Amino acid sequence: MSNPDYIIHITGAVLLMVLGLLWQRIDSKYLQRMVSNLFVLVLGMLLVDVFVHLLPNTLADFIYRTHKHAVPGNFRSGQ
């Protein structure tokens, strides 16, 4: 994992903890709704980041696995 990616993950995790604790301490309904919306936004961004990392590898694995069975053996060996 690259350094900027690591920083994004740590920052997102800290933001989720801070927003979760803040949400429990607020009495105003408007502020609770605003903090919960921010919590969902940060959580969504982290989930999108996970899918951005996992999806290309999964798709590439699926494509190469299906091509291995579709191509004749003598074509792959170069004979």
Q: How far apart are CA 41 and CA 48, in angstroms?
A: 11
pLDDT, tens digit, for every residue of 3-48? 888 888 899 999 999 999 998 898 899 999 999 999 999 999 999 8
Q: Domain limits at 9?
A: 3-77
As a whole number of angstroms, the distance between CA 22 and CA 31 comes to 10
The tokens 């290309």 sit on which residue?
Answer: 56
Distance CA 51, CA 63 (A): 18
What does the pLDDT read at residue 53? Answer: 81
The more confident residue out of 18 and 77 is: 18
pLDDT at site 65: 75
Q: How many domains does the chain have?
A: 1
pLDDT at position 60:
78
